Amino acid sequence: PQAGFLRGIGGHGVPETPSLMGRIHMACDSCHLPDRPDEPAASCQHCHGRGTLSMVEGWKSWLNTAGEALTTDLKRVESALPAASDAQWAQSLTEARENLELVDRAGGAHNFVFAERLYAAAHDRLGRVVAGAEVSVDLQPFSSPRDGEGGDCRSCHVAAEPTKPVFGYPFVHETHVSKAGLGCSDCHGGDARHGALSIDAQFCTECHHQEEEDCARCHQDAAQMMRGDGLVGLADLPSPKNDQAPCIACHTDLSANADHVANSRTMCVECHEESYGPMQAEWLTEERTTLEDLGRLLTDLEIRMAEAASRTEEWTRTNEALRGARRRLVLLRRAGFVHNPDRARQIAKDIEAVGQDVARFLGDQP
């Protein structure tokens, strides 16, 4: 299937999308060297430079993540689709499945743009089935790496280096692209050396850590956890530190690569007794265990609710409560347990209570 995949043919709902390698008729052994058959990406660097390897790994990472999400959604929709449904919906699911299987068999990195379009077409077909057949399944969000600003760049650079030094500080691409809304051309030029910076350090200081910087402007979840407010049905439970210590009392190092765990542990014992150092480690262990346990619980219940999908008022109400619990788990993960352990435990207990209600709806014995 790799030959057709390089030519960009064979999928459903996708125009012919030949890769550059396919257009110039590259032979397989141009990349798959006889002495290193399992390391094709390494051979790319001979012509395209050192950054190529991380670029190919970025393709694979995105394809794995998106493929797993789409496969999971496909199974959920198949389970929830009534047996007597119109044949067109079954055909749409077949086409979605065949697109996913084609990428898996051929290796998406052989033609990344074609693979991404196959995934997008598969997601579109799942969406049509969910809407047209009134299937009660919430599909996971699908976002093309080429969407939005910088789309042309991301046809190849789907995942820029996560962290690299810029003006003496580690620069995190994800933060600046996803959260700050910067596009590739805001920092990079479009000439032959298109990876070169077109900005100076002064450009960075227009946003970063000026006087009177308000941490909560960017770190909203952590600030909410410190305040212990903002959740319907839960009494406010602010951290004792909320009105006593500003963020910088613990986060003294504001550089991008700062080890906030080690740094804040050091600052704890500056004001408190030595036992506060190990206590923070205990909180972090509790956080990891809590997030893992609750994540497994909600995932299991979400799958079972999809399989038991109906249009009854009780199912709708129960499913909405389950979705709310998932949103609170996301908040718990982003906000940081150590910012307010008592509030974190309160949220975790509420999520568990919702899980028990959902389990009872599904017929589990208390």
pLDDT averages per 10-residue partition of the chain, 366 residues: 83 87 67 64 59 73 89 90 79 93 88 90 92 85 68 63 67 74 74 68 71 72 91 91 78 65 65 74 90 93 87 89 93 90 95 95 80
User: Which two structure tokens, joined as six digits, stand for 286?
Assistant: 């509790």
pLDDT reported for residue 39: 61
At residue 258, the 3 state secondary structure works out as coil
- Quote the CA–CA distance of 200 and 358 in Å, as a whole number: 54
pTM confidence score: 0.49
Query: Which stretches of 107-236 are DSSP H helices?
Result: 112-132, 173-174, 184-187, 201-204, 220-227
Residue 351: predicted pLDDT: 96
Contact 98, 12 (CB under 8 A): yes
Q: Where are the domains of the chain?
A: 2-132, 160-204, 215-366
Residue 289: per-residue pLDDT: 94
DSSP conformation letters of 300-335? HHHHHHHHT----HHHHHHHHHHHHHHHHHHHHHHH
For 317-347, what is each residue's pLDDT tens digit? 999 999 999 999 999 999 888 899 999 999 9
Q: Are strands 163-166 and 169-172 parallel, antiparallel or unpaired?
A: antiparallel
pLDDT at 124: 93
Place of tokens 């568990």: 352
> Could you count the other beta carbons within 10 Å of the beta carbon of residue 106?
20
HSE-CB for 227 with a 13 A CA cutoff: 10
